[in-house]
Structures are given as structure tokens and as C-alpha cells.
Structure 1
């Protein structure tokens, strides 16, 4: 693949499944990419490269790697893909190393991460992005892609160049003036699928075939829509169709919440169903289905971490 402009210097802070997919696609297209992640992955990245096992190809991509946030130095574009609870800490760690004029693109679950990151990175360009990709780390340095890969990002002074680079790298990307609405639409998808996939430890295609699941998902989505409306959010497109499409386009995908719990790691449930519960309380909108899913995942998480 060729790049339409000069290659970008790219750093991926949080080189898990999402960060590795987009960083790997850019590296494969000729951009200089540094993945910043955990030692077990970084050791493989440095020695062998990133194995990208996708629906379209299975290749090992050579790139740079580090365990230190200071490796964002010199990057034109930082793909910020840490877990939601780590947003402020990771932002503070990289703040003094950012190149003037760098764009930080938030590739995180939840609806408020970009806002939280801006509070830490005063004066830095931070753009929210909505991520639609099904991926997992199948082992150290090994990314497995289950479907999709598109991004929706909010406008910034650097976004046109970034969109051009991503599109040329095979990542469908669009700029939207309603990223808040798109983030809420993605949040609704996560609230419908993530907790149930985690509790059942099953992928989406199998999940929707289980008794009572689709009715439960409808209740969750209805509550989310009511909270979004009370919060003044305009949801784009057909949310119900988007919910159905997830199981059709990502049938083999386990939710990120399921992957976290299956690996004995804390989940992001406080920033998914938990966020809807908190906003519902603040706005006077009942959210019993979301509250139950949030509470059940917290119980499973506590038992797993013990």
C-alpha cells in the first residue's frame, strides 16, 4: 500500500488488540509506528514484529516498540488506546513528551474519555474516535481480527491528513460533527453485548441465540436511548439495526469485557453500563436492566480478581 502524503510518525499508547490493529495497519502502509505496551508483547514486537492475523491477510509487520510512555516523543499522531480507568494516569505520563502540534486520537470505549484526557493535556489536540472493530490478542505479539475496522472521528486541524493516511492504509474513516452521538450509539452496542458476553463467556453469534437474551438486550437498549435523549444526545442512524448487525458481522467475537475477565483483568464495565446507570440517576431516568448487568459483572470481576 502507498501513502498519499509523507509518512506519519505514529505512537500507539496502549498496544492491546485495538491499538495493535490500527497501528499495524498504518505500519503495513509505510508509516513509522511505535507500539507502547506490556513487556510480554513488546519483547515479541521487537524480536519478530506484530503478527496480524486478519480476515484479509496473515502477515508479520515490522515496527518499533517500547514499554515507556516517553516513546510518544516525536509522534505526529498518538493512538490512545489504554483502558478507560487508566485515561488520566496514561495521559499524565505522556504529557511532557508530546511533540507540539501532535494529534491524540482517543480509541477507547465509553463516551467521556476524550473530555477527561483534554483536562489532563491542556493545549494538546485531542480528538474523540468511535471504533468499530472486532479484535483480540491471541498471544504475545499476535493480533487476531474477527471483523470490521472502521473509524469515525471528530474534526481537528490534523484530521484530514490522518483520515487520508488511514484510508490509504485500508481503514475506512470518516469525519463527523456528531461524534458525541456516535459515541453514545457505540456505547449502546457495548451495553447490549459486553456484559452478557462476559457473563456467558460466549461470542456474539452464539449469545443472541440464548433464551431471553434478545429481550434483555431490547430492555438495555431502550434504557440507554432514554438516558441519551434526556442528556440531549442525538443518536445517528438506526440504533436497533446496528445492534442486530453486531452479531451478524462479528459472530465469533467475545466482548472486551469478556476478554478482560477471562484473563483475570479488571473490566471497563463502570464506563459502559455503569455510565448509563450514573447518568440515569443524575437525569431521573430508571435503568434497572443496565444496573443488573453492571452489578453482575462487578460480582464476577471481584471473584475473578480474588
Structure 2
């Protein structure tokens, strides 16, 4: 459900290795899928799928599916779930592969007849064209426990797509949110992710935003679990290392193409609504609920809203952003 970058990549990889896959999309994407789908990933893997290797259409294309991978933008969750509710077969499972916090609660409220399972995709996928996607980083699809999750993992077993079933998925979602705090920052910088992470000033701004979230999670009694190999509490420290040492310590995380950008950047370019209300905004709401403030995340949220209103990145230099953020965090 949702034929964006993540939906096309995960679905395309499964279809390339024999799974029966249907895409629910619209407009230009559907027209393009009628000609085929190209999926590729870091390391050289490429697959050119022909239209007969999958189904594509509106939401009715999912009527016979027993596992729905829910991949819409967070702001579209309620509407898409409402559309799906009249179509989905009894007993079908819905696995959320969305960014942000709160989507699973919305899905459970809108689809009470379904087994809704939390999940996350902690790696970057670039939309190269309406029917071509490229995974620009290493990583696993992480999903909560359940029969549908085990079946999904089995379907991906012989492919380069790795699906890991995690009993601690709720804590993983908060750990993933920590990483997603960079999405809005990538919009403000206007540069590819690799270039952004080479700049110690951008890294410091991200570290400040992450420390706000970690402080709020402590107040809420929530213990985040890393969506990657690195402990969430170590990430701000690693970001503050000298650049030469950061490259050594974070070499696995830096295994990304020069083209890699955040999904929020893709949303800006495509003229969609920003997801930062479900990312940095989630930090602000949790902070307010515990009598705290999150000024760095609030500033990122507001600056991203301004960028989307103007339909362009402000391309703020790292040092410029850092001066603003340090003033806020004092």
C-alpha cells in the first residue's frame, strides 16, 4: 500500500525473487509500472522486472493479498487505511514500514479487523524515476513478531533484501526515530547525505537534536534500541568525533552512494507534505507531555515547514545552522 520509494523497492525485491506482489499506487507511478520496474542496490545488484512479474493498480489490487506492507507517507496513513478497510480480505496482516511515531496506532484504529504489526526500514532508498528505485545504503527491514513477519522473512530469504523479526520492535521504532531526525536537517542543508556527514557542523546539529530526544525518552521511561549496530546513546558521541576519526568509526554507516538523500528531500522535490511533524514533531509532543522543551527539534520542524512552503531548500551552511541551534540549546 503506497508505491513510493520504499514500497517499490521492498515489493520489487520480493517480486524479483518469486513472491507474488501487488502495488497500490496512482497517477504517474501506475502508468510507469505498466512498462516495468527497475530495482538496484549498493554493491551492484540490479533487476529489471517486466509487468507480468507483479500486479499494479489502485487499492483494489490488494484485495487478494494476505500480507499488506503499508508504505504510505505518515500524513496519508488515516486516509489510505480508510480506503483499504473496504477492500482488505478477512484475516490479512498489515505491516507498517513507515517513518515516524503513531502510524501503528492509527492503523489499529482504522483497521480493527487486521493484525497490525510495527516495522521499519532503517536504510535509504532513492527514487530514480517513477518506476526505478535504488537502495543507497546497507540495512535490514525490521518487523515485529508474528506469523506474517516470519512469512515475509521467508519470502526474502534468498534475495539481497534481509528481513529481521524483532521482539523489541517498539523500542527499535524509537531508535529509528533518532536516525530520522536527520531527514529534516537534510532538507535544510540541501546537500547529499554523504557530503552532509562530512561536515562536523551538520553532525553537531544532529547530535544536539538527538540528545534532546534521548533526554525526553529518559523522562518518559522509554529505552530506545538501535535500528543499526550502534547503540543510540553512542551516536551523538560518534557524530562529534573529528572527521577523520568519524570516517573510521562510522564507516559502515557511511557506506552509501553519493546520490543518497533523505526521504524528506524527496518529498520536497515532489511537492508532497513534509513528514517532520511525525519525526521532529513527535519529539516536541513527547517533550511537552512531560513538561519539557525540545527547542532544536522545534526549530528544525519550523524551518522545514518554511522550506516546503517555499518549495525549495534554504541550503543553510552547517556553521550557520550550528550557531542558531547552540543559541536555542543554551
Q: 1:22 aligned to 2:10?
A: yes
Q: Which runs of 5+ in 1 are unaligned?
A: 1-12
- Which of residues 169, 172, 189 in structure 1 aligns to 2:179? 189
Residue deviations 1:131-163 (CA, integer Å, cap 9, x gap)? 122112111211122122411111123322222
- The equivalent of 1:154 in structure 2 is 144
- The equivalent of 2:276 in structure 1 is 269
Q: 1:278 aligned to 2:268?
A: no
- Which of residues 283, 291, 294 in structure 1 aligns to 2:298? 291
Q: 1:53 aligned to 2:53?
A: no
Residue deviations 1:250-304 (CA, integer Å, cap 9, x gap)? 3532111111112222110100101111111111222111111111001111121
- The equivalent of 1:87 in structure 2 is 77
Q: 1:128 aligned to 2:118?
A: yes
- C-alpha separation between the residues in 2 aligned to 1:292 and 1:119? 31
After TM superposition, what 4+ stretches of structure 1 lie above 3 angstroms from structure 2?
A: 63-67, 240-247
> 1:208·1:247 contact (CA, 8 Å) conserved in 2?
no
Residue deviations 1:196-220 (CA, integer Å, cap 9, x gap)? 1101111221112335212211111
- Which of residues 308, 323, 328 in structure 2 aligns to 1:301? 308
> 2:74·2:99 contact (CA, 8 Å) conserved in 1?
yes
Residue deviations 1:223-275 (CA, integer Å, cap 9, x gap)? 11112222222212411555754851335321111111122221101001011
- Which of residues 232, 237, 244 in structure 2 aligns to 1:239? 232
Q: 1:76 to 1:273 in 2, by over 3 A?
A: same
TM-score by length of 1: 0.89
- The equivalent of 1:254 in structure 2 is 261
Q: Which has the higher strand share?
A: 1
Q: Which moved more, 1:57-66 or 1:181-190?
A: 57-66
Q: Which runs of 5+ in 2 are unaligned?
A: 240-249, 313-330
Q: Which moved more, 1:119-128 or 1:154-163?
A: 154-163
Q: Which moved more, 1:180-189 or 1:144-153?
A: 144-153
- The equivalent of 1:39 in structure 2 is 27
- C-alpha separation between the residues in 2 aligned to 1:295 and 1:247? 28
Residue deviations 1:34-74 (CA, integer Å, cap 9, x gap)? 11213212112122x10113223222113334341121111
